């Protein structure tokens, strides 16, 4: 029997999950999203919406009463409330896993305890504690908030002793941790999935290029050695084995100068660096996530086409309604706008994929083409 799917979060990820769910009517009869923004992107593509904050206990309970299965596209949900629902409604990925991942210190501690490679880290409880513990780390070092931070917003890179108090004061009242800065040659990620039967599948390792802590470009496959690629896949599969619950996870990693692979962070949801799968793979990460939480066999994950994904961000000097973005979608160029009513500086407004249609496997030419396409995108006020 087809199930009612509840999603906490109705932004772009919820929108693309909704679009994938609508292609599976034999398994999913209706989609309901919980999101604070009225007429959110997911609602615009056919999801029914409950307008409320992601952490709103009553709204989450209401969603559970109307759904057969609940998932999420954002880590900000109330894991305690979700945990209390388990049994009355299926929640995946597991609320227990969400609770661990929501706290970056607990996440790193969990990974280390399970033999997975991470950078050195330590909990920080006061300015004096920070001053004492930074001695063993040296400079530069990263001070991070433990919860409710993404796209680098909860990070402060400390370069010298004079910045210690400024760094700690920036996160006043919030739990923090200290982490060693990795001299990495590349940031990479693996999109991995596990279904309710325990079947695990991973997508090709991709290379991620960031600008101002926001993902700018994903290159599939990553320009790394076979050894690095295999090690990243091994780490991703082991990570999926120790995490509880089903779904797609984005596993972000660093490749060090000596070609070691370390986990940076884990997202218990479909991931920005997996958008390439919409065109590069037989099974998109969005369909894969649904297959995983429904207990279906996982789809194929092999890379059919070399692909470069670029985020489309709101320009720094513009805030407001804008004319529709249009580019020629031909010769392997695919545009995906998120139907957000207003552009804001650095807000993720859409993305495009540039696909190698000639099977030439020339990733450098795809990167050049992606840069050319990006130059054609303009935000003009209505």
User: What does the pLDDT read at residue 153?
Assistant: 75
Q: Are 141 and 181 contacting, i.e. CB atoms less than 8 angstroms apart?
A: yes
Spatial distance between the Cα atoms of 346 and 232, rounded to a whole number of angstroms: 30
In this predicted structure, what is the pLDDT of residue 151? 62
Number of other residues whose CB lies within 10 A of the CB of residue 338: 19
Which residue, 3, 8, 1, 10, is CA-closest to 42?
Answer: 10
pTM reported for the whole predicted model: 0.95
- Residue 152, pLDDT score: 66
- Other beta carbons within 10 angstroms of residue 203's beta carbon come to 29
* Phi, psi (deg, nearest 5) at residue 89: -145, 145
Question: In the block, which residue shows the tokens 């299965």?
Answer: 69
**What are the structural domains, with CATH classification, of the chain?**
3-91 (3.40.50.20), 120-180 (3.30.1490.20), 184-376 (3.30.470.20)
Which candidate, 7, 71, 35, 68, places its Cα nearest to that of 247? 71
Kindly report the three-state secondary structure assignment for every residue of 159-218. CCHHHHHHHHHHCCCCCEEEEECCCEEEEEEEEEEECCCCCEEECCCEEEEEECCEEEEE
The CB-side HSE value for 13 (13 A sphere, CA atoms) comes to: 24
* Res 86: pLDDT: 67
Closest CA to 203 of 227, 224, 185, 220: 220
pLDDT tens for each residue of the chain, 382 residues long: 899 999 999 999 999 999 999 999 999 999 999 999 999 999 999 999 999 999 999 999 999 999 999 999 998 888 999 999 967 799 999 999 999 999 999 999 999 999 999 999 999 999 999 999 999 999 999 999 998 776 667 899 999 999 999 999 999 889 999 999 999 999 999 999 999 999 999 999 999 999 988 999 999 999 999 999 999 999 999 999 999 889 999 999 999 999 999 999 999 999 999 999 999 999 999 999 999 999 999 999 999 999 999 999 999 999 999 999 989 888 999 999 999 999 999 999 999 999 998 877 899 999 999 999 999 999 999 9
- What is the pLDDT at residue 244? 86
Report the b/e string of 219-239 with b at 16+ CB within 10 A: bbbbebeeebbebbbebbbbb
User: Would you call 31 helix, strand, or coil by DSSP?
Assistant: strand
């Amino acid at each position: 029997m087809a199930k009612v799917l509840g999603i906490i979060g109705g932004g772009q990820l919820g929108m693309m999950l909704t679009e994938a769910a609508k292609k599976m009517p034999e398994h999913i009869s209706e989609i309901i999203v919980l999101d604070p923004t009225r007429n959110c992107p997911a609602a615009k593509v056919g999801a029914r919406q409950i307008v409320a904050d992601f952490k709103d206990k009553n709204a989450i309970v209401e969603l559970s009463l109307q759904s057969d299965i609940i998932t999420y596209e954002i880590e900000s949900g109330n894991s305690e409330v979700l945990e209390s629902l388990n049994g009355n409604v299926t929640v995946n990925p597991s609320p227990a896993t969400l609770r661990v991942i929501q706290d970056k210190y607990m996440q790193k501690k969990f990974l280390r305890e399970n033999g997975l490679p991470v950078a050195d880290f330590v909990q920080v409880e006061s300015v004096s504690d920070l001053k004492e513990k930074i001695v063993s780390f040296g400079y530069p070092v990263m001070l991070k908030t433990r919860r409710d931070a993404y796209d680098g917003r909860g990070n402060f890179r400390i370069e010298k002793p004079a910045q210690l108090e400024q760094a700690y004061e920036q996160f006043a009242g919030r739990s923090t941790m200290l982490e060693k800065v990795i001299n990495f040659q590349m940031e990479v990620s693996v999109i991995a999935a596990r279904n309710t039967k325990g079947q695990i599948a991973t997508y090709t390792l991709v290379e991620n290029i960031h600008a101002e802590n926001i993902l700018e470009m994903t290159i599939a496959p990553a320009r790394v050695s076979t050894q690095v690629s295999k090690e990243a896949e091994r780490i991703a599969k082991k990570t999926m084995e120790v995490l509880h619950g089903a779904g797609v996870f984005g596993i972000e990693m660093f490749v060090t100068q000596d070609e070691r692979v370390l986990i940076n962070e884990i997202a218990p949801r479909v991931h920005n660096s997996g958008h390439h799968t919409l065109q590069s793979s037989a099974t998109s990460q969005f369909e894969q996530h649904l297959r995983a939480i429904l207990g279906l066999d996982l789809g194929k994950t092999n890379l059919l086409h070399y692909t470069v994904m670029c985020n489309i961000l709101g320009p720094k000097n513009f805030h407001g309604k804008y004319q529709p973005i249009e580019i020629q979608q031909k010769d392997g160029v695919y545009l995906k706008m998120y139907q957000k009513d207003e552009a804001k500086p650095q807000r993720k407004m859409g993305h495009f994929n540039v696909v190698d249609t000639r099977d030439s496997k020339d990733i450098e030419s795809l990167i050049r083409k992606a840069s050319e396409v990006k130059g054609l995108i303009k935000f003009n006020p209505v």
